[in-house]
Amino acid sequence: EMVEKQGYEHFMLKEIHEQPTVARRFLSDRLKQEEVKMPELEEIWQEDFEKVMITACGTAYYSGQVGRHIIEELARLPVDVEIASELRYKQNFIDEDTLVIVVSQSGETADTLAALEVAQKKGAKILALTNTASSSIARQSDAVVDIMAGPEIAVASTKAYLAMLLGFYLLGLKLAELRGTLSQSELSDYRREILKLPDRIESTLHRTEPQCQKLAETIVDYDSIFFIGRNLDYSLALEGALKLKEISYIHAESYPAGELKHGTLALVEEGVPVFALMTRGKLARKTLSNVEEVKARGGRVIAVASSQLMEERAEDEFYELIKLPVSNELWAGVIAVIPLQLTAYYAAKELDCSIDKPRNLAKSVTVE
Ligand code: G6P
């Protein structure tokens, strides 16, 4: 095991640090300044696709929440995201004109496979976004996009989540191209910005790791930690809370920032840590007003925000300010998730938890 960990204390930390490489590998295979290579999608593409349904479990499901915003904004197709174990048992409106995207690191999650079968019976085209191209889910799908994150050993997913987001970025761009919803110059600007991501992921890792380590030591004494954000930032908040819960066993909840007043605020009292994610320009100001509400109740706000949006803010406005090098806010997820993963990791380490194999959880859930 020591050899495979390559000097890292845990697989999770190793996998967090592999993310720049994972991003470079995936993008060098599929993205050039002039084009996105997504032949798998082109092969099953139908002019009359009317909607997209994304289905998955766990972290893969949260990647789908990000994917929804990406596809809706770029390709202007309505997207539903359903937890696979729910999709199986509800009324669904999947038909021949639905593109179903099934997301799974392992490709073996029982509920996800069952949801795929439900969709297939309705005549939908199935595209799998998976880290295991030889898996059951891959075999049953009409098209398979391999996210190429490499073997992920830690139960809590990190590099596969990041690769899923990149998969959605490229799917979103290819769908936009096929549907003609973006101009050539817009497409090329978006592609150019994606190509910058591996370096930004790397610099974010190095810059935020010591900060997250220190921060983690100060938040582990609290029973509950909250994550708020709007739009894409809310989707990321979901994953941030899940990471913390899974490995540190601290109760964590994510809320759309606008919903704070409708419940969660009642739980915010002196010292309670609240992560406020702010990477979307138009929405940051709104989330900042929620930040004020939290501060007024004595909550400790940890702002995870793009540097640009924080230019006029003083560091001491927040308990902690984690600044991110975001240039295109649609692609901020792969950068913003890094400090969330690192904080969860160091919190679990501080609490002496079994990081790679958290209690009660399995890497792949092959029973219902
Ligand atoms: C388990 C794992 C999670 C994972 C989920 C879905 O719960 O502990 O990390 O996100 O299954 O797994 P999949 O392989 O389908 O992505």
ipTM for the predicted complex comes to 0.98
SS3 279: coil
Burial 71-82 (b: 16+ CB within 10 A, else e): beebbebebbbb
Q: Which of 15, 54, 57, 82 to mutate to test the pocket of ligand 1 (most atoms within 8 A of CB)?
A: 57
Q: Which pLDDT tens digits describe the chain residue by residue (368 residues)?
A: 555 898 999 999 999 999 999 999 999 999 988 999 999 999 999 999 999 999 999 999 999 999 999 999 999 999 999 999 999 899 999 999 999 999 999 999 999 999 999 999 999 999 999 999 999 999 999 999 999 999 999 999 999 999 999 999 999 999 999 999 999 999 999 999 999 999 999 999 999 999 999 999 999 999 899 999 999 999 999 999 999 999 999 999 999 999 998 988 888 999 999 999 999 999 999 999 999 999 999 999 999 999 988 888 888 899 999 999 998 999 999 999 999 999 999 999 999 999 999 999 989 898 88
Q: Which of 245, 359, 364 to mutate to test the pocket of ligand 1 (most atoms within 8 A of CB)?
A: 364
The Cα–Cα gap between 170 and 27 comes to: 9
> Within 10 Å of residue 269's Cβ, how many Cβ atoms?
10
Report the relative pairing of strands 273-278 and 224-229 from DSSP bridges. parallel
* Closest atom of ligand 1 relative to the 130 alpha carbon: 16
CA Rg value for the chain: 20
Kindly state if the Cβ of 135 falls inside 6 Å of ligand 1.
Answer: no
Kindly state if the Cβ of 112 falls inside 6 Å of ligand 1.
Answer: yes
| Distance between Cα 305 and ligand 1 center (Å) | 27
* Closest atom of ligand 1 relative to the 361 alpha carbon: 8
- Closest by Cα among 109, 167, 166, 101 to 136: 109
The Cα–Cα gap between 203 and 109 comes to: 34
The Cα–Cα gap between 336 and 322 comes to: 9
| Distance between Cα 313 and ligand 1 center (Å) | 38
Structure tokens at 316: 């001491």
| Distance between Cα 58 and ligand 1 center (Å) | 5
Residues annotated as catalytic are 363
DSSP per-residue string spanning 322-333: EEE--SSGGG-H
User: What is the number of residues in the chain?
Assistant: 368
The pLDDT, as a whole number, for residue 2 is 55
| Distance between Cα 105 and ligand 1 center (Å) | 7
Task: Give the full edge-to-edge strand order of the sheet including 51-56.
Answer: 79-83, 51-56, 98-104, 125-130, 143-146
The Cα–Cα gap between 285 and 276 comes to: 12
Structure tokens at 362: 């399995």
SS3 52: strand
| Distance between Cα 52 and ligand 1 center (Å) | 22
Structure tokens at 20: 């720049």
| Distance between Cα 361 and ligand 1 center (Å) | 9
- Closest by Cα among 144, 114, 116, 115 to 128: 144
218's enclosing H/E stretch is helix 197-219
The pLDDT, as a whole number, for residue 33 is 86
Kindly state if the Cβ of 287 falls inside 6 Å of ligand 1.
Answer: no
The Cα–Cα gap between 303 and 257 comes to: 13
Kindly state if the Cβ of 167 falls inside 6 Å of ligand 1.
Answer: no
Kindly state if the Cβ of 57 falls inside 6 Å of ligand 1.
Answer: yes
The pLDDT, as a whole number, for residue 3 is 56
Tell me the C-alpha to C-alpha distance, in Å, between residue 271 and each of 61, 111, 222, 278. Answer: 31, 39, 8, 21
SS3 256: strand
Q: What is the pTM of this model?
A: 0.97
Kindly state if the Cβ of 136 falls inside 6 Å of ligand 1.
Answer: no
* Closest atom of ligand 1 relative to the 112 alpha carbon: 15
Kindly state if the Cβ of 358 falls inside 6 Å of ligand 1.
Answer: no
Q: Which of 15, 103, 105, 135 to mutate to test the pocket of ligand 1 (most atoms within 8 A of CB)?
A: 105
The Cα–Cα gap between 160 and 183 comes to: 31
CB 299 within 8 A of CB 275: no
